[in-house]
């Protein structure tokens, strides 16, 4: 049977690799998460409810502990399989991107350890911020940075190092925290990241960047079982779990890694589907909903003279809940909205000025929030 894999076409081989990564990570996470639940309930490691939180039962918040081990396990099992079949294409692909992948793993280890510490005993935000800045510096060291806006915001030339260095670090910190802060209702953070990971995996596969497609699909397979336990698991049956900071920081960094790589990837001009898509929208459209929401919440707290770093109930999902939606309906609505933003960005960025398109999306998002705010105020008066 192993000889079979040395004879199949390159496309079929990579289809097998991606399918195996997805299935293997689903199985591994599906086995590991129930064990984490068992340990959490035996050791009473819970996310206790309070007036700010939506859940009213004691639920473990250690689901994110499964993420990094499952992702790395899946990738290395595939690497071993590739060597034993004698195909060696996966080894060559990973070897060609060893620097950026190594930087990703190093950053993941740092955030993973900080996330576990925060979920178990609590970590000051300043300490988490320092580690996130360190991850941004590692990105720079590994050649992952944003130095060309391709005309967005009227920047037509590449930025000098003294501009794109701090910009890269700020973007890394911003994206990681955007995914962390959007984790407010069941399935939202994992659902949004699932949409983004499926998108990144598909695009990277389409353009032949198989190492990064593998990371995306291995991570997607890890998120799927967690989504099931988070959304459909029953707290009273000890089957419900949250991802905690370990999960949201891990997913945030992987999405940051994939988006940065996609922003700098070369796409063949003959590629009919993607060649005309603006690189910044191709890379960052899956992250626009959580990122825009974080900026809006930050500005709203400043307007209300509140500490912008203190949590409250002003996120988009809180607004949908205030309108009377259930958690599941609110979550699904936001996922569809994110998919709509992705599709709109890909289609319109081929023809429109990128700055006008970006401003149009921001205005559209702001208008929806203003409408929801007016509806909530009217509902409260009645």
The whole-angstrom separation of Cα 375 and Cα 382 is: 11
Residue 355 pLDDT: 94
What values do phi and psi take at 291, rounded to 5? Answer: -70, -45
CB 68 within 8 A of CB 108: yes
Q: How far is CA 346 from CA 136, 308, 338, in A?
A: 27, 32, 12
Tell me whether residue 91 is exposed, middle or buried, using C-beta atoms within 10 angstroms of its C-beta: 0 to 12, 13 to 18, 19 or more.
Answer: middle
Sign of the CA dihedral with 110 first, then 174, 195, and 351 last: negative
CA dihedral 344, 197, 40, 107 (to 10 degrees): -110
pLDDT score at 263: 93
pLDDT (0 to 100) of residue 226: 96
The CA distance from 334 to 345, in Å, is: 16
Q: 22 forms bridges with which residues in the sheet?
A: none
Q: What is the pLDDT of residue 305?
A: 76
Q: What is the pLDDT of residues 266-297, one digit of tens each?
A: 787 777 688 789 999 999 999 999 999 999 98
Angle at 265 between CA 88 and CA 99, to 5 degrees: 55
Report d(CA 261, CA 274) in Å as an integer. Answer: 15
Report d(CA 235, CA 167) in Å as an integer: 42
Provide the 10 A C-beta neighbour count for residue 161. 11
pTM as predicted? 0.94
Question: What does 7-60 look like in DSSP terms, one character per residue?
Answer: TS-HHHHHHHHHHHHHHHHHHHHHHHHHHHHHHHHHHT--B---SS-S--S-B-
Model confidence over 40-97: pLDDT tens digits? 888 877 765 555 555 456 788 899 999 999 999 999 999 998 888 888 899 999 999 9
Q: Tens-digit pLDDT profile for the chain (382 aa)?
A: 556 666 788 888 999 999 999 999 999 999 999 999 999 888 877 765 555 555 456 788 899 999 999 999 999 999 998 888 888 899 999 999 999 999 999 999 999 999 999 998 888 888 999 999 999 999 999 889 999 998 898 888 888 988 999 999 999 999 999 999 898 899 999 999 999 999 999 999 999 999 999 999 999 999 999 999 999 998 888 899 999 999 999 999 999 999 999 999 878 777 768 878 999 999 999 999 999 999 998 888 888 777 766 777 788 998 999 998 999 999 999 999 999 999 999 999 998 999 999 999 999 999 999 999 899 988 888 6
Q: Which residues pair with 47 in a beta bridge?
A: 59
Tokens describing residue 296: 């809006």
Query: What pLDDT sits at residue 240?
Result: 92
Tokens 């670090």, located at residue: 169
* pLDDT score of 88: 86
Strand (E) positions, the chain?
none
């Amino acid at each position: 049977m192993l000889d079979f894999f040395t004879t199949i076409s390159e496309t079929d081989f990579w289809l097998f690799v991606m399918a195996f990564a997805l299935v293997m990570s689903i199985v591994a996470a599906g086995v590991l998460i129930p064990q984490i639940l068992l340990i959490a309930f035996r050791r009473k490691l819970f996310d206790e409810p309070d007036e700010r939180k939506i859940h009213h039962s004691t639920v473990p918040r250690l689901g994110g502990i499964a993420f990094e081990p499952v992702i790395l396990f899946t990738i290395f099992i595939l690497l071993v399989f590739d060597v034993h079949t004698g195909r060696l294409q996966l080894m060559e692909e990973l070897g060609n991107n060893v620097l950026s992948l190594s930087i990703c793993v190093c950053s993941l280890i740092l955030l993973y350890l900080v996330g576990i510490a925060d979920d178990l005993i609590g970590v000051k935000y300043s300490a988490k911020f320092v580690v996130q800045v360190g991850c941004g510096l590692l990105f720079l060291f590994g050649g992952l940075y944003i130095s060309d806006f391709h005309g967005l915001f009227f920047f037509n030339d590449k930025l000098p190092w003294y501009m794109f260095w701090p910009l890269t670090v700020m973007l890394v910190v911003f994206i990681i925290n955007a995914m962390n802060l959007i984790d407010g209702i069941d399935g939202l953070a994992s659902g949004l990241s699932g949409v983004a990971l499926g998108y990144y995996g598909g695009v990277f596969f389409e353009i032949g960047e198989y190492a990064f497609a593998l990371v995306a699909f291995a991570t997607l397979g890890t998120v799927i079982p967690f989504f099931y336990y988070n959304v459909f698991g029953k707290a009273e049956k000890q089957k419900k779990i949250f991802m905690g900071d370990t999960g949201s920081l891990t997913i945030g960094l992987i999405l940051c890694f994939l988006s940065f790589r996609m922003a700098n990837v070369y796409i063949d001009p003959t590629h009919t589907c993607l060649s005309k898509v603006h690189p910044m929208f191709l890379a960052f459209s899956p992250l626009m909903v959580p990122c825009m929401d974080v900026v809006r919440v930050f500005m709203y707290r400043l307007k209300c003279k509140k500490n912008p770093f203190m949590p409250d109930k002003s996120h988009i999902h809180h607004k949908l809940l205030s309108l009377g939606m259930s958690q599941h309906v609110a979550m699904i609505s936001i996922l569809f909205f994110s998919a709509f933003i992705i599709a709109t960005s890909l289609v319109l960025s081929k023809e429109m000025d990128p700055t006008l398109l970006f401003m149009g999306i921001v205005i559209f998002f702001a208008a929806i929030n203003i409408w929801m705010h007016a509806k909530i105020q009217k509902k409260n008066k009645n």
